[in-house]
Amino acid sequence: MAEEDGPEEIAAAEDRAARWTLRRATAAALHFEAEYGSAADQGDAEGDPDPATAPVGRDRARAWLEEERAQWLGALRHAQSTGRHRQVVDAAEAMHWFSDATMDWELWAEVFRRAADSARALGSTREVAVQLNYLAWARNMCVFDYVGALAAADTALEAAREAGDELQVGWALGYGAGALQRLGRIGEAVTRLRLSVAQFAGLSCGESRLAELTALNALGQVLRLDGRPEEALAIHRRSETLCRAGIPGRPTAVSNSYLALVSQNVGNDLAALGRWSEAEAPLREVLTLRAANPMSFWSETARLELGVVLRHLGRHEEARETLKAAHEALVRLNHPRQLEAAAELSTLESAASTA
């Protein structure tokens, strides 16, 4: 018995457990791969270490990934420390779309940083670019480290050019622009986004159309922040037309996700132009389209923006309820716009007290 419990046996058992956990996490995360869509929500049963007990469907896959995140993150660390770099990169790649649904998880910055390091260890320059682009996204959206996001995007750009991957060049330009925007370097952000749009427009693969939509949305958003809402609205209306026509080869759920982002931008463009009554409908549409994941970054920022519109329309009680709900959710998500929501509530209360 003592021999069975020796250091080597314990280490071997821990290694087996880590391998099992990371295989299941990878298979579960594939339920969120956008190319599969709701009609083919199968994950990767063959890749699961025990298909008979594998979580079935996105809801169960998400529940398992949420409940076991400390365990599968530990398994990812273990895989890297023991030199299983291919497993690390494959797991991170599988997690890519799932991470979009859980942007309040700070761990994504670690997941993609480790995957980029493992891709380097494998000597795969293209995968280095991919994982660094994911890392730039995570630093922008999950941990709000914009300096770090810019550094990751710039390094991804170098790797993508070295690998000759034109799609990743476009993504790196876009993620770098996002960091520049958040750092207040608006002119540089606009320049990079125009380059990103042009890069994607010149490609013919299916993913490039989604990428082009993403870049167009971001470009319009930056133009609005630069005090050019008319230009922003024109760009977002172009994106809206593309989304409502459907995205070839992609399920409706994917088109709706992009449409929600476009609608949020259209609503904000109209608000920036003082067209408050027109701004209400697109912002409400965001909440409808995001109803499957109501307390997300996107739905709650749209709720905040809707509250502002309602305040300007003079519907103060409805505005108060909307802003309060947005503030409470943004606090739970630790989103930086919680401060904006608090300020809007304060403005509303001050106006009510002096009325």
- Say yes or no to pLDDT of 214 above 80: yes
226's tokens? 């630069």
Model pTM? 0.80
Report how far residue 355's alpha carbon sits from residue 337's, in angstroms, rounded to the nearest whole number.
27
Tokens of 254: 């994917």
Is the pLDDT at 40 greater than 50? The verdict is no
User: Cα–Cα distance between 182 and 34 in angstroms, integer?
Assistant: 27
- pLDDT for 9 equals 78
pLDDT-based confidence at residue 37 (cuts at 50, 70, 90): very low
Question: What average pLDDT does the segment 318-338 reach?
Answer: 93
Is residue 10 over pLDDT 90?
A: no
Residue 341 has pLDDT above 80, yes or no: yes
- Which tens digits make up the pLDDT trace of 157-202? 999 999 999 999 999 999 999 999 999 999 999 999 999 999 998 8
Instruction: Please give the distance of CA 37 from its chain centroid, rounded to a whole number.
Output: 17
Which three-class secondary structure state does DSSP give residue 227? coil
User: If you write DSSP's letter for every residue of 261-285 in order, what string do you get?
Assistant: HHHHHHHHHHHHTT-HHHHHHHHHH
User: Could you give the C-alpha distances from 129 to 27, 123, 194, 197, in angstroms and in order?
Assistant: 23, 12, 20, 18
Q: Do 140 and 150 meet the contact criterion of CB atoms below 8 Å apart?
A: no
